[in-house]
Amino acid sequence: MPKMTFIEPDGTRREVDAPLGLSVLEIAHKNSLDLEGACEGSLACSTCHVVIEPEWFDVLPDAQEDEEDMLDLAFGLTKTSRLGCQIIMTEELDGLVVRLPGGSNNAMK
């Protein structure tokens, strides 16, 4: 089974199983990681914002326009920011490393 690593805001690294076909958001939730996902993956918020480690960013498919629009609302946006709900685990992403930002902007509350 593929693996991925989450780097928590305090720098703690957590390597977890990353089942094929699940999103980074779903994988985080399965492993009790603090990644909000207020809209439950419907691409209507930016609370599942993650920062992709640079060596992995170009491996991912490009973000679509809807995702980029939501990213504009993300807390702590970086050049390698993506929404966890839009990254689906594949064999090619085995070993993916993402950082969890220290907060989120939730306009849905």
What is the amino acid identity at position 90? Answer: T
Over the stretch 17-33, which tens digit does the pLDDT of each residue have? 999 999 999 999 999 99
What is the amino acid identity at position 44? Answer: A
CATH number for 16: 3.10.20.30
Over the stretch 46-79, which tens digit does the pLDDT of each residue have? 999 999 999 999 999 999 999 999 999 998 899 9
The pTM (predicted TM-score) of the whole model is: 0.91
Q: Do 51 and 101 form a contact (C-beta atoms < 8 A)?
A: yes
105 inside domain = no
Q: Do 24 and 49 form a contact (C-beta atoms < 8 A)?
A: no
What domain range is 29 assigned to? Answer: 3-99
Distance CA 60, CA 40 (A): 21
